[in-house]
Structure 1
Amino acid sequence: MKALRPAIILLFAVNSLHAQNDLLGELNKLDSNATVPVQATFKSTRIINGHSVETVKKNHMDFRISHRFGRLNSGSYQLYGLDQATLRLGFEYGISNDLMIGVGRSTEQKAFDFFGKYRLIKQTTGARQIPLSVTLFGSAAIRTLRPVLEDEVTRSFKNKLTYVYQALIARKFSERLSLQITPTYLYRNLPELAGDKRGLFSVGLGGRLKLSKRVSVNAEYFWAAHDKNATLPYHDSMAFGVDIETGGHVFQLHFTNSLGMIEKQFIGETTGSWGKGDVHYGFNISRTFSFDKKSKKVQY
């Protein structure tokens, strides 16, 4: 009987291993038959200046502080821009996991902005693969700055309004790399400068390269179809930055030639030129609050 013990033990071990392999096979089969949404294409609802495909989760509120200093080439007297500051405060709320709304107020032009954002298509893997995420964005902004010069046009309420419509189209290619293209149409009831068109088409390109679990580098560029014959002082917006995620906070540190922080301003009214050193240092701070006790922390 003692001689049979090793054989019996080996038989049980082989059967156990076979059962485990069968179980793993069944689990893999279930995984291959499941459709899994791709998570965290970007760390935040913004790439840098522009919106990303991400939305605030249901019953969550995102409080955002966006800050731009003056131009780096302003010299030592202005402490290379640090003596000057432009600010936007915003509140954004998730009505559902796919639908969010937001409101903000900027010191630039004393502008109020209101927007809605809906995630129409989600990128998925598994049995039913969808290669892209698509989010629709629409906003209205009102300029409340009073006339400064005597000959400046006094605007009616209607002529203070600007509207923006965007389709945010993104793909997460891997755990490290995400890219987005953003076709945009911007309409001003009354442009800031004479000779500028009311309607403006633009295409934005943005991307994120993840360096670690909590750190990524981002880049963003918006080409705008300004009328070249109007000799307007506007340039395309371009920005580079770093995202740092710490619990419920996301810190975004960046350099950009755009002073404004809403679409009307950074797409349609960027006067800074990278070639001339008209670059602003800035940051965004995002703090998310949950009103849903059952919610789980979002992993990036």
Structure 2
Amino acid sequence: MKKRLAVLLLIVCSLSVYAQEPTNNQEDDDLFAELDDLTIESDNEVIATFKSTRLLIGQSTERVKQRQLHFRISHVFGKIKGIDNFFGLDQINNMHISLEYGLTDFIQLGIARSNKPDKTYSNSIKISALRQRDGASPFPFALSYFGSLDIKTREYFPEARNKNFSGRLEYVNQLLISRKFNKDLSLQVSPTFVYRNLTETENDPNAIFSIAMGGRYLISRSISLNAEYYYTLPTFDTHDGSKNTLAVGMDIETGGHVFQLYFTNAFALHPGKFAINQSGDFFNRDINFGFSILREFSFSKKSK
């Protein structure tokens, strides 16, 4: 309100001065520049950094808006090797179903289920802590926190080292840091910490730290090219000859749906698995084809 009054007074004063005596062009330019400064919004959030809450298989800084629900179905097929299994399409390697709800405009809650490898349920939260802004009070990047508790429910083998419930739990913590450089290019880096109460072997570390890097490039209004890569620090390597996770693909937006098509060496789609080393080398044709379908539902009350 104060800014509006200041603008009004400045306009009135300038008109009275202009009516009394002529002014030169430089003074006019200075006046209008000052008006522009006063009317710039101080809270311009940069929007649509990514088309979805996922880059491809991993989280992005985008969050579900308040009172909106995102329903997502994802599939990953078998290895793209040979015609005998139709280049992997005969085999569904994993299915992932998730629901994400915007509790507030900066807190997102989610639940999910993956059938492989451990019949895993995931409970997650995403908190949008800082948002990229331009205008009079700019901020250069967006920062979100993502946390997930993964619960493995598959039946234990008789030789399992730990059959207690605690052995079924995995904890995922990520800081998601992104910047939209222009309308086409957005990049993100995500330090990721995974803690597993029970590992496959006694030699594997319980705690694993990795760095995720990714981005998207918009090639049309509704299509973007995306990529993401999870690099596990050597200190936390599982030492089983596995390779880091890589995914490349595209987003296709059609109204209330977002389709994601991708190629990846990840065999699992919950973060407790794909955020750590996988059992395939992307550059040795250990590649799976996958896709996701996202549908948005809004529970906001529309004013009549």
**Shared fold per TM-score greater than 0.5:** yes
Instruction: Work out the CA distance in 1 between the residues paired with 2:255 and 2:33.
Output: 36
1:177 aligns with 185
Instruction: Work out the CA distance in 2 between the residues paired with 1:41 and 1:172.
Output: 5
1:156 aligns with 164
Instruction: Work out the CA distance in 1 between the residues paired with 2:149 and 2:169.
Output: 7
Contact kept? 2:49, 2:186, Cα under 8 Å: yes
Query: Cα distance, 1:174 vs. partner?
Result: 0.3
5+ residue gaps, structure 1: 1-20, 296-300
5+ residue gaps, structure 2: 1-28
1:265 aligns with 273
Instruction: Work out the CA distance in 1 between the residues paired with 2:138 and 2:216.
Output: 22
Q: Say whether residues 1:128 and 2:140 are aligned partners.
A: no
What is the letter of the counterpart of residue 186 of structure 2?
S
Instruction: Work out the CA distance in 2 between the residues paired with 1:192 and 1:176.
Output: 42
Query: Cα distance, 1:288 vs. partner?
Result: 0.6
CA RMSD of aligned residues (A): 2.2
1:80 aligns with 87
Instruction: Work out the CA distance in 1 between the residues paired with 2:223 and 2:301.
Output: 28
Contact kept? 2:209, 2:236, Cα under 8 Å: no
What is the letter of the counterpart of residue 146 of structure 1?
E
Contact kept? 2:113, 2:119, Cα under 8 Å: yes
Query: Cα distance, 1:269 vs. partner?
Result: 4.4
> Size of the alignment, in residue pairs?
274
What is the letter of the counterpart of residue 218 of structure 2?
K
Q: TM-score, normalised by structure 1?
A: 0.86
**Residues 88 and 70 of structure 1: is their aligned pair in 2 closer, same or farther, counting only changes over 3 Å?**
same
1:139 aligns with 148
Question: Once the two structures are aligned, what percentage of the paired residues are identical?
Answer: 40
Worse-superposed segment, 29-38 or 104-113: 29-38
Query: Cα distance, 1:152 vs. partner?
Result: 3.9
Contact kept? 1:147, 1:153, Cα under 8 Å: no
Q: Deviations over 1:35-80 (max 9, x none)?
A: 311001110000011100010000000001011001102x222211
> Which stretches of structure 1, 4 residues or more, deviate above 2 A after TM superposition?
21-35, 150-155, 225-231
1:48 aligns with 56
Worse-superposed segment, 134-143 or 78-87: 78-87
2:240 aligns with 232
- Helix, strand or coil at the partner of 2:246: strand
2:107 aligns with 99
Q: Deviations over 1:96-123 (max 9, x none)?
A: 1110000000011100000000000000
Contact kept? 1:63, 1:90, Cα under 8 Å: yes
Q: Say whether residues 1:212 and 2:220 are aligned partners.
A: yes
Q: Say whether residues 1:249 and 2:257 are aligned partners.
A: yes
Q: Deviations over 1:126-173 (max 9, x none)?
A: 11010010001111001111135x434452110100001111000000
Contact kept? 1:62, 1:93, Cα under 8 Å: yes
Match of residue 118, structure 1, among 122, 127, 137:
127
Query: Cα distance, 1:264 vs. partner?
Result: 1.1
- Helix, strand or coil at the partner of 2:85: helix
Worse-superposed segment, 94-103 or 185-194: 185-194
Instruction: Work out the CA distance in 2 between the residues paired with 1:251 and 1:44.
Output: 10
What is the letter of the counterpart of residue 176 of structure 1?
D
Query: Cα distance, 1:284 vs. partner?
Result: 1.0
- Helix, strand or coil at the partner of 2:61: coil
Instruction: Work out the CA distance in 2 between the residues paired with 1:170 and 1:239.
Output: 18
Query: Cα distance, 1:25 vs. partner?
Result: 6.4
Q: How does 1:15-54 map to 2 (within 5 A)?
A: 28-54=36-62
Query: Cα distance, 1:32 vs. partner?
Result: 3.1
What is the letter of the counterpart of residue 117 of structure 1?
K
What is the letter of the counterpart of residue 91 of structure 2?
Q
Q: Say whether residues 1:195 and 2:213 are aligned partners.
A: no
- Helix, strand or coil at the partner of 1:212: coil
Instruction: Work out the CA distance in 2 between the residues paired with 1:229 and 1:59.
Output: 40
What is the letter of the counterpart of residue 80 of structure 1?
F
1:57 aligns with 65
Query: Cα distance, 1:206 vs. partner?
Result: 0.7
Query: Cα distance, 1:294 vs. partner?
Result: 2.6
Contact kept? 2:258, 2:293, Cα under 8 Å: yes
